[in-house]
Structure 1
Amino acid sequence: MTDIISRPAPPRLAIDGDSRTFPVGRVFCIGRNYADHAKEMGAAAEAIFFTKPASAVTTDAALPYPTETEDLHHEVELVLALGDGGRIIASGVGVDLTKRDLQARLKAKSAPWEIAKGFDGSAPMGSLRLGEPPASGAISLSVNGVTRQSGDLAQMILPPAALLAELGRFFALQPGDLVFTGTPAGVSALVPGDQVSARIAGLPPLDFTLTERR
């Protein structure tokens, strides 16, 4: 049987010190996994899950400011990369970009807000590092050299193993899945020209620049 269309190739992430790449399948995200971030958002500190399409993942060093927003927020996160059996085989640094004004309008109407989270290029990623993810260590994000987010991975309400167990209640986790594990406090707006640097101790860095809207 022949397909009627040609599917686009999946995004692929580089693996630090390895010639192989990681083909991205699904992207799962958890919200409110750091109590201080939940507090700053005026929400209860309880895990909520949402998804992004694979097209959200990007490794571009220059990202255009997206359409349909005037209030784009950054959220630095530890990202888990899953292999056979849904087990963690690597981890990296990611940023969840959010159209906060659009999200707020949708929340006010009790409407789904995935379009504020799942737009193309909304999940910048650095290279992955093979092995178990760090259980603790500094996680931070700076904009134009000024630190905005700073915390420790040990502050996660659901650490990686518990997070995957909870997510696994609803989905059969598969090779190629990425899991964004939540963000510490300090999320705020980005504007064109901003240089973003996201860091997690022991993992390859992530740097990108936000350019003018296309």
Structure 2
Amino acid sequence: MKLVRFTAGDGAAQWGVLNGTQVQVTRGMGGEPTGETLDAAGVTLLAPAEPSKIVCVGRNYLDHIRELGNDTGDLPAEPGIFLKGPNTLAEPGGAVQRPDWTQNFHFEGELALVIGQRARNLTPDTALAAVAGYTCALDLTARDLQKTDLQWFRAKAADRFCPLGPWLETDFDPRDVRVQTRVNGQTRQDGRTAQMIFPVVDILVYLTRFVTLEPGDVVLTGTPEGVGPVGPGDTVEVEVSGLGVLVTPIV
């Protein structure tokens, strides 16, 4: 199923199931149908998550480690984790303003997942059952400030630095899918999740040793090689095979 979070007219945010040209309204993410059906053309999609936190894995593809010059030692022994706040979410199709306080504003296309149930001390056998669905993410980064921030706070966690969407796909195998990023129609990133140093199951098992993941929390899984700068007038598309395309204009 494709789970969508949306507004209709001037109404409050709602959840539903996208079925062709119709949206069946539900009681929350993956909840029971309310009986109301809307025309999909008449709704505005929102980021398909209501997280308490967004947990991100950095440097999870070897070629990306190399392109940033971070391959001077052994491969990471454990996932490198950083956080974004709920303030970073941006809706699919929504514009993101290039900040005037960075001179090197980068795109990073990624596979993301949204947690569906409270998760602590997951095992390899139970990890994927905690996932409500998968989607596309754009991890926007002030690359110059990433080198000076103590914990990448400005570089990664400024407002609207995490476009997410367009929907959550519940029936999805994350082990070997294509992750592409295009800028103005030109392919800039083209990798596969099978190239991850730490696959999705390992990430979830690792995270939940230390942190309780709550329903609605988001996990970003890392970006392939090919990252680079964007500026006003550029349009970034992140496509994960089977999950649709996340479009983000930069203004």
C-alpha contact (below 8 Å) 1:128/1:204 kept by paired residues: no
C-alpha contact (below 8 Å) 1:140/1:151 kept by paired residues: yes
Provide the secondary structure at the position in 2 that maps to 1:101: helix
Instruction: Compare CA radii of gyration and give the structure with the larger one.
Output: 2
Q: Which residue of 2 aligns with 1:93?
A: 136
Residue 161 of structure 2 is aligned to residue 122 of structure 1: yes
Quote how far apart the aligned CAs of 1:78 are: 0.4
- 1:103 pairs, out of 146, 149, 171, with 146
C-alpha contact (below 8 Å) 2:136/2:164 kept by paired residues: yes
C-alpha contact (below 8 Å) 1:13/1:24 kept by paired residues: no
Could you tell me how far apart the structure 2 residues matched to 1:116 and 1:81 are? 23
| Structure 1, 41-50 or 157-166: larger mean CA deviation | 41-50
TM-score (norm 1): 0.85
- Give the alignment of 1:1-214 within 5 angstroms: 16-17=18-19, 19-20=25-26, 21=29, 22-44=49-71, 45-46=75-76, 47-59=79-91, 60-86=93-119, 87-106=130-149, 111-126=150-165, 127-211=167-251
Quote how far apart the aligned CAs of 1:67 are: 3.4
Quote how far apart the aligned CAs of 1:15 are: 5.8
Seen in structure 2, the aligned counterparts of structure 1 residues 168 and 54 have a Cα distance that, compared at 3 Å, is same
Give the counterpart letter for 1:94 in structure 2: A
Seen in structure 2, the aligned counterparts of structure 1 residues 93 and 123 have a Cα distance that, compared at 3 Å, is same
Task: Spell out, residue by residue over 1:65-98, the C-alpha distance to the aligned partner (whole angstroms, 9 max, x if none).
Answer: 1231111000000001001133111000001000
C-alpha contact (below 8 Å) 1:97/1:122 kept by paired residues: yes
User: Would you say how many aligned residue pairs link Structure 1 and Structure 2?
Assistant: 197
Seen in structure 2, the aligned counterparts of structure 1 residues 14 and 113 have a Cα distance that, compared at 3 Å, is farther
Structure 1 runs (4+) greater than 4 angstroms displaced: 11-16
Seen in structure 2, the aligned counterparts of structure 1 residues 61 and 53 have a Cα distance that, compared at 3 Å, is same
Quote how far apart the aligned CAs of 1:119 are: 0.4
C-alpha contact (below 8 Å) 1:12/1:24 kept by paired residues: no
5+ long unaligned stretches in structure 2:
1-12, 30-48, 120-129
C-alpha contact (below 8 Å) 2:174/2:200 kept by paired residues: no
Could you tell me how far apart the structure 1 residues matched to 2:155 and 2:25 are? 34
Higher relative contact order (CA 8 A, sep 6+): 1
Q: Percent identity?
A: 35
TM-score (norm 2): 0.73
Give the counterpart letter for 1:206 in structure 2: L
Task: Spell out, residue by residue over 1:102-142, the C-alpha distance to the aligned partner (whole angstroms, 9 max, x if none).
Answer: 11233xxxx22222100010000112112344321211001
Provide the secondary structure at the position in 1 that maps to 2:203: helix
